[in-house]
Amino acid sequence: MFTTSILVRFGDLDAAGIAYYPNLVNFLHEALEDFFVGHVGRSYPEVFGGGLGSPTVKVEMEFLSPVRYGDQVRIGVVVEHIGRTSLRVRYEGEVEGRPVFRARNTMVIVDMKTFRPTPIPDWLRARFEAAREA
Amino acid sequence: MFTTSILVRFGDLDAAGIAYYPNLVNFLHEALEDFFVGHVGRSYPEVFGGGLGSPTVKVEMEFLSPVRYGDQVRIGVVVEHIGRTSLRVRYEGEVEGRPVFRARNTMVIVDMKTFRPTPIPDWLRARFEAAREA
Amino acid sequence: MFTTSILVRFGDLDAAGIAYYPNLVNFLHEALEDFFVGHVGRSYPEVFGGGLGSPTVKVEMEFLSPVRYGDQVRIGVVVEHIGRTSLRVRYEGEVEGRPVFRARNTMVIVDMKTFRPTPIPDWLRARFEAAREA
Amino acid sequence: MFTTSILVRFGDLDAAGIAYYPNLVNFLHEALEDFFVGHVGRSYPEVFGGGLGSPTVKVEMEFLSPVRYGDQVRIGVVVEHIGRTSLRVRYEGEVEGRPVFRARNTMVIVDMKTFRPTPIPDWLRARFEAAREA
């Protein structure tokens, strides 16, 4: 499984001193960016910049345990499902072995001119397949 | 149904020129804050400040249509379920009558000293009941 | 003087329960956006979208008093200086008459193709002149 | 000079595809946090958590060159001035040797109960002195 690690910053905290949950949703995107660099082999804006986009159409996220300042959140990224024009990715976050969140994100690949779904290019599909759950 | 309206700012956009989805998750919290001021009758930090907290344990959000700069997102807030120590809220976002997202958030009321679930105070439960789905 | 009002949200707070200062810098941009809609008469991305950009080259900001949850920050926007290709804007923030910050931002108008300074279009210069300090 | 490195993320970009300047102001705080961990030897919230706070009273920042997705911004942190109750820090950001920003931040050390200035504790002053400009 591809994994990356993201540090919890002061700006991620809320007034209760724990990570504000919308900021943890942002961690999912950061983990996806690392997945593109580290696994796909091209950066996210490089892939989704010219003509293609990948808007999120659905996100589900469970928060299992508080995330605190200075935590290094280790995030596993797994491709769960690859459709013709869509992709579902699962994220598993943990801090020192303690699960802190799990999430699922469905993206649709779109042509940015029309904002309509378009088939995932073959080269990209192959990279997603290689990160697919066994 | 309690509704509020939130303006999409330049800082909410991503490099594709549409609202970055973690920023829309933040809109849910802003709508909840408006619900506390406008419906509950006490501000969110006033209620969840002293000894009580309300960490989100689950969020699900579907993005139905792109949200753009300058959009006024009208957000309806409905209490879907009230447990002994938890609360599930539904959010429906639209821009000029066009649905742009729907979401569901489950919070648990906790004692901030122990971070353990604690019963929703009666006065607060009564306010949640009054915002419950018919 | 053009003035607007921005509400301090839960997500703007830091772990000490006051507004996190980089979020108040974002308030400057939000006030500028309101200035474009309310004074210039065209939205910020409408003006700086096609071929023109307005990168900030310098910002100075003094924080005079803590800003707290629920504060409505009233922000005055004054054009201090209009150069051939640049603009300096002053911001004055207050909460219920108490000054909370003052700031100055210098922007350069650039051609987005080359990212080089380009003269401010006459129609826009005229709008800036009309917001100039007496 | 203490230096750290911060990666520019998709969420840091604006609709023009370059880093949104309030997000770069946040980079200053992240660099300060790294300075506390790496140089001071105790984390920022550990030092400014219990009874002490360090509100920023002034920030000045110049943006010298656009910062783009995927840039690793190398940030140097220098203590410029240590007063009885205040601290001025300078930041120098560069991307592959190209200067992208320089900034200066003045903080006041306060007693969080009264929010009034309080002398910098000796042990902390000694750490700041050790990071002082030659």
Q: How close is the nearest chain D Cα to the Cα of A79, in Å?
A: 20
Asked whether the predicted pLDDT for residue A50 surpasses 80, the reply is no
Q: Which of B59, B64, B111 to mutate to test the interface with A (most CBs of A within 10 A)?
A: B59
Determine the pLDDT at residue D48: 84
Alpha carbon dihedral B53, B59, B62, B66, in 10-degree steps, equals 50
Closest CA in chain C for residue B23: C11
User: C15 in contact with D at a CB cutoff of 8 Å?
Assistant: yes
Q: What is the largest CA-CA distance in chain D?
A: 46
Q: Which of C63, C64, C108, C114 to mutate to test the interface with D (most CBs of D within 10 A)?
A: C63
| ipTM field | 0.95
Q: Cβ of D11: how many Cβ atoms within 10 Å?
A: 19
Helix (H) or strand (E) holding C130: helix C122-130
Q: What percent of chain B has pLDDT over 90?
A: 87
User: C42 in contact with B at a CB cutoff of 8 Å?
Assistant: no
pLDDT 10s digits, C44-81:
988 887 789 899 999 999 999 999 999 999 999 999 99
Asked whether the predicted pLDDT for residue A94 surpasses 90, the reply is yes
- Cα–Cα distance between A76 and A74 in angstroms, integer? 7
Query: What number is the average pLDDT over the span A126-130?
Result: 95
Query: What number is the average pLDDT over the span C104-130?
Result: 95
Q: Which of C21, C49, C59 comes nearest D56 by C-beta?
A: C21
The strand pairing partners of D82, in sequence order, are D87
Side chain identity, residue B131: A
Query: What number is the average pLDDT over the span D112-133?
Result: 93
Q: Which of D15, D28, D59 comes nearest C45 by C-beta?
A: D15
pTM for this one? 0.96
- In which band, very low, low, confident or very high, does the pLDDT at B132 lie, cut at 50, 70 and 90? very high
Q: Which chains touch C (3 or more CB pairs under 8 A)?
A: A, B, D
In DSSP notation, C46-93 reads HHSSSSEE--EEEEEEEE-S--BTT-EEEEEEEEEEE-SSEEEEEEEE
Q: Which residues contact B126 (CB under 8 A, 6 or more apart)?
A: none
* Across A90-94, A102-106, A123-127, D46-50, least confident range: D46-50
Let me know: does A41 contact D17? Beta carbons within 8 Å.
Answer: no
User: B46 in contact with A at a CB cutoff of 8 Å?
Assistant: no
* Half-sphere CA count of A113, side-chain side, radius 13 A: 3
pLDDT 10s digits, D61-111:
999 999 999 999 999 999 999 999 999 999 999 999 999 999 999 999 999
Let me know: does C67 contact C17? Beta carbons within 8 Å.
Answer: no
Determine the pLDDT at residue B40: 95
User: C18 in contact with D at a CB cutoff of 8 Å?
Assistant: yes
pLDDT 10s digits, D18-59:
999 999 999 999 999 999 999 999 999 888 877 898 999 999
Let me know: does C89 contact C79? Beta carbons within 8 Å.
Answer: yes
Is residue D76 classed exposed, middle or buried when 0-12, 13-18 and 19+ CB atoms within 10 A define those classes? middle
Asked whether the predicted pLDDT for residue B44 surpasses 80, the reply is yes
For A44, B7, B78, C9, C45, the CA distances from B23, given in Å and listed in that order, are 18, 12, 21, 13, 18
SS3 category, C54: coil
Closest CA in chain C for residue D53: C16
- In which band, very low, low, confident or very high, does the pLDDT at B51 lie, cut at 50, 70 and 90? confident
Determine the pLDDT at residue D130: 94
Let me know: does C61 contact D55? Beta carbons within 8 Å.
Answer: no
User: A55 in contact with D at a CB cutoff of 8 Å?
Assistant: no
